[in-house]
């Protein structure tokens, strides 16, 4: 009887709890215009999980899910590589290690962003989809450089959520007036050797302003042109793209303070670092499983990610790796994109494609040699694996530098590493257990959160839907005048008062002095006369 009552109470309570956090099945549009695999590996979980939880999800994307849930719709954009779009052959991506952060923006980021936005808007499936009479309760866009697509939030009169697959975004901080923290927080794509010293901070300030001005006054105009060209019936009916991003309900960013630099954020900027990584229940292919299980000295895993082909390494760098690997007692597993690798030593195994998450999760992995892409780095952190990073472009340099500072890895400069430095670095990490120990500590704190990053993501998305855009979470300072926001008018007023008071007293002193001095000279002249 007692038991029965407790059960009833429990049932009622959990029903109430469910109701409190309940979000009715919503119609959600998720736009992923950029085709890079690393971005999709991260973003795909959002739509799939929302669908799993009963929402009606539509994703505009260049990638295809093979067996999606029935309430998961895909609007297909033709899959193209960035090189096909911005003209020319696929370059050897290792050459990008030479580009400055400014050149990287002008040669890759801006033209790539415009091309992918246009590819998406011009796609016949997307055009067809936009003609239909759909309604959406939420529009989620990747925050990269495809702002024209924010217009869809306005078209469907739905709150906008933006997601960055890298961390913090300076442009967003500036426009929403999130504190910039330039002394500790780096512009996301800036290569910097000594972020904390005077020149580093100066460079960070310079680059942040440089990027913002180009983006705001040149790039956004080009994005506006794409809106006019492909969404002509919305002309005059939507706010500017700048206003739309400023008014976004929520920004989700791929970082977490347990590894990344602790930073102050507005309540509607939420960290979901490592949302794509979880305990995988997939098993490894038999041959790989056997190889990893049986390598009693452990395994070194090397991959330069989905964009960079290690088969394109210059001959002398490739030789350096092979010579160092040959003398290791560990087994080496290398993502190598061609059939043959000449001079392959006995302890080296290659695969054109390797199931990275499952490999890094294997307890015998001792070291991950990476280009420092955030997605792979987070898989290493999640599994407590030390890294050696050879960064090539974009945020990779900062990611590896951070790993080195935290003590879970070492950075090798692509331009000047050789067999000797490579050997020293790899052996240092394999033989000095401080890196593994630190990696295990970071792993523990990385996974120590009130909710998993995926649950956090879904919570905040549903929160925005439940609260109809959560207008109250947005920073009121974003609509203020710059001198009001910086309090310059108030400081100027205080300065004015101080100056006025000082001037008053100065005048007073002069007057008093004039009187006293005047009296004295009067007395003196009188005395002189008497004499």
Is the separation of the CB atoms in 109 and 136 below 8 Å? no
Verify binding: residue 467, ligand NAG, rule CB under 6 A: no
Cβ–Cβ under 8 Å, residues 158 and 178 = no
Query: Taking CB under 6 A as the rule, does residue 469 contact ligand NAG?
Result: yes
Candidate ranges 117-125, 189-197, 214-222, 480-488; the one touching ligand NAG (CB under 6 A): 117-125
Q: Is 423 in the site for ligand NAG (CB under 6 A)?
A: yes
What is the rounded CA–CA span in Å between residue 2 and residue 15?
20
Taking CB under 6 A as the rule, which mask of x and - marks residues 471-490 in contact with ligand NAG?
Answer: x-------------------
Q: Is 309 helix (H, G, I), strand (E, B) or coil?
A: coil
In the bound complex, what is the minimum distance in angstroms from residue 429's beta carbon to ligand NAG?
9
Q: Which stretch binds ligand NAG (CB under 6 A): 143-151, 319-327, 362-370, 383-391?
A: 319-327
Instruction: Out of 35, 56, 204, 399, name the contact with ligand NAG by CB under 6 A.
Output: 56
Q: Does 184 bind ligand NAG (CB under 6 A)?
A: no
CB of 415 to ligand NAG, least distance (A): 20
Helices (H), 269-411: 286-294, 315-326, 356-360, 374-383, 396-406
Residues 238-267, one symbol each (x = binds ligand NAG by CB under 6 A, - = not), give: -x---x---x-x------------------
Residue 287 beta carbon to ligand NAG: minimum distance, rounded to whole angstroms: 19
Is residue 343 a contact residue for ligand NAG (CB under 6 A)? no
> Which of residues 226, 291, 302, 324 is near ligand NAG by CB under 6 A?
324
Position 434 contacts ligand NAG (CB under 6 A): yes
- Quickly count: other Cβ atoms within 10 Å of residue 503's Cβ: 10
Residue 93, CA atoms < 13 Å, CB-side half-sphere: 17
273 CB-near residues (< 8 Å, 6+ apart): 167, 253, 254, 255, 256, 259, 260, 378, 446, 453
Binding part of the chain for ligand NAG, among 118-126, 171-179, 306-314, 364-372 by CB under 6 A, reads 118-126
Query: Is position 73 an interface residue for ligand NAG (rule: CB under 6 A)?
Result: yes
The residue assigned the tokens 């919305």 is 234
Stretch that binds ligand NAG, among 144-152, 177-185, 263-271, 320-328 (CB under 6 A): 320-328
| Shortest distance in whole angstroms from residue 159 CB to ligand NAG | 4
**CB proximity list for 78: less than 8 A, separation 6 or greater:** 62, 119, 123
- Among 23, 38, 134, 364, the residue binding ligand NAG under the rule CB under 6 A is 134
Does position 124 interact with ligand NAG (CB under 6 A)? The reply is yes
Tell which positions 279-318 bind ligand NAG, by CB under 6 A.
281
User: 395 is written with which tokens?
Assistant: 């945020």
Query: Are the beta carbons of 330 and 292 closer than 8 angstroms?
Result: no
| Contact with ligand NAG (CB under 6 A) among 100, 427, 520, 521 | 427
Task: Give the closest residue to 439 by CA, choosing from 367, 505, 509, 373.
Answer: 367
Q: How far apart are CA 393 and CA 399, in angstroms?
A: 11
Residue 354 β-bridge partners: none
Task: Supply 170's token pair.
Answer: 């300076």
What is the DSSP code string of 122-177?
H-HHHHHHHHS----SEEEEE-SS-GGGGHHHHHTT--EEEEESSS--HHHHHHHT
Nearest CA to 348 out of 419, 399, 274, 291 is that of 291
CB burial of residue 498 (10 Å; 0-12, 13-18, 19+): exposed
Q: Distance between CA 453 and CA 98 in Å, rounded?
A: 35
Q: Kindly determine how many residues on this chain lie close enough to bind ligand NAG according to the rule CB under 6 A.
A: 25
61 makes contact with ligand NAG (CB under 6 A): no
Contact call for residue 347 and ligand NAG (CB under 6 A): no
Nearest alpha carbon to residue 349 among 307, 301, 283:
301
Closest distance to ligand NAG from the beta carbon of 119 (Å): 7
Please give the Cα distance from 456 to 178 (Å, whole number).
21
CB of 69 to ligand NAG, least distance (A): 10
The residue among 338 and 471 lying less far from ligand NAG, judged by its C-beta, is: 471
The answer to the question of residue 432 lying near ligand NAG (CB under 6 A) is yes
Using rule CB under 6 A, residue 64 touches ligand NAG: no
Q: Per rule CB under 6 A, is residue 181 in the interface with ligand NAG? A: no
Question: Minimal distance in Å, beta carbon 279 to ligand NAG?
Answer: 10
Q: Does 159 bind ligand NAG (CB under 6 A)?
A: yes
Q: How far is the CB of 193 from ligand NAG (least distance, A)?
A: 18
Sites of contact with ligand NAG (CB under 6 A)? 27, 56, 58, 73, 118, 122, 124, 134, 159, 239, 243, 247, 249, 281, 323-324, 327, 407, 419, 423, 427, 432, 434, 469, 471
């Amino acid at each position: 009887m007692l038991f029965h009552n407790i059960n009833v109470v429990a049932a009622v309570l959990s029903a109430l709890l469910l109701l409190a956090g309940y979000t009715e099945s919503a119609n959600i549009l998720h736009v992923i215009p950029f085709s890079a695999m690393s971005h999709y590996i991260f973003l795909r979980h959002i739509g799939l999980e929302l669908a799993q939880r009963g929402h009606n999800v539509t994703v505009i994307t260049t990638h295809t899910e093979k067996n999606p849930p029935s309430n998961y719709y895909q609007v297909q954009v033709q899959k193209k590589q960035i090189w096909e779009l911005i003209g020319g052959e696929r370059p050897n991506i290792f050459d990008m290690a030479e580009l400055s952060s400014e050149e990287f923006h002008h040669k890759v980021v801006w033209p790539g962003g415009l091309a992918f936005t246009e590819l998406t808007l011009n796609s016949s499936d997307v055009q067809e989809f936009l003609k239909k009479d759909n309604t959406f309760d939420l529009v989620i866009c990747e925050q990269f450089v495809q702002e024209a697509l924010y217009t869809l939030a306005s078209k469907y009169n739905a709150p906008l959520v933006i997601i960055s697959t890298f961390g913090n975004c300076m442009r967003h901080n500036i426009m929403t007036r999130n504190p910039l923290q330039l002394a500790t927080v780096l512009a996301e794509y800036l290569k910097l050797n000594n972020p904390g010293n005077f020149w580093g901070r100066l460079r960070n300030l310079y680059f942040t302003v440089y990027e913002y001005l180009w983006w705001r006054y040149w790039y956004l105009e080009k994005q506006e042109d794409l809106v006019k060209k492909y969404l002509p019936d919305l002309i005059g009916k939507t706010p500017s793209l700048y206003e739309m991003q400023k008014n976004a309900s929520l920004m989700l960013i791929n970082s977490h303070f347990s590894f990344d630099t602790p930073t102050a954020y507005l309540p509607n900027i939420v960290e979901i670092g490592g949302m794509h990584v979880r305990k995988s229940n997939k098993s490894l292919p038999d041959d790989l499983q056997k190889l990893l299980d049986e390598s009693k000295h452990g395994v070194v895993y090397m991959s330069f990610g989905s964009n960079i082909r290690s088969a394109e390494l210059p001959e002398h760098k490739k030789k350096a790796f092979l010579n160092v690997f040959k003398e290791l007692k560990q087994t080496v597993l290398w993502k190598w994109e061609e059939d043959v690798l000449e001079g392959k030593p006995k302890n080296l195994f290659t695969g054109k494609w390797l199931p990275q998450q499952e490999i890094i999760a294997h307890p015998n992995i001792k070291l991950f040699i990476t280009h420092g892409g955030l997605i792979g780095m987070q898989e290493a952190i999640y599994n407590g694996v030390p890294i050696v990073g050879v960064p090539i472009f974009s945020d990779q340099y900062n990611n590896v530098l951070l790993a080195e500072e935290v003590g879970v890895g070492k950075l090798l400069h692509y331009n000047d590493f050789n067999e000797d430095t490579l050997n020293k670095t790899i052996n240092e990490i394999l033989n000095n257990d401080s890196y593994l120990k630190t990696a295990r500590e970071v792993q523990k704190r990385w996974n120590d959160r009130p909710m998993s990053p995926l649950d956090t993501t879904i919570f905040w998305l549903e929160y925005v839907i439940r609260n109809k855009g959560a207008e109250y979470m947005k920073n009121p300072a974003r609509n203020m005048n710059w001198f009001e926001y910086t309090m310059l008018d108030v400081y100027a007023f205080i300065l004015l008062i101080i100056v006025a008071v000082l001037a008053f007293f100065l005048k007073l002193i002069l007057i008093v002095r004039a009187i006293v001095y005047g009296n004295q000279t009067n007395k003196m002249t009188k005395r002189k006369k008497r004499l």
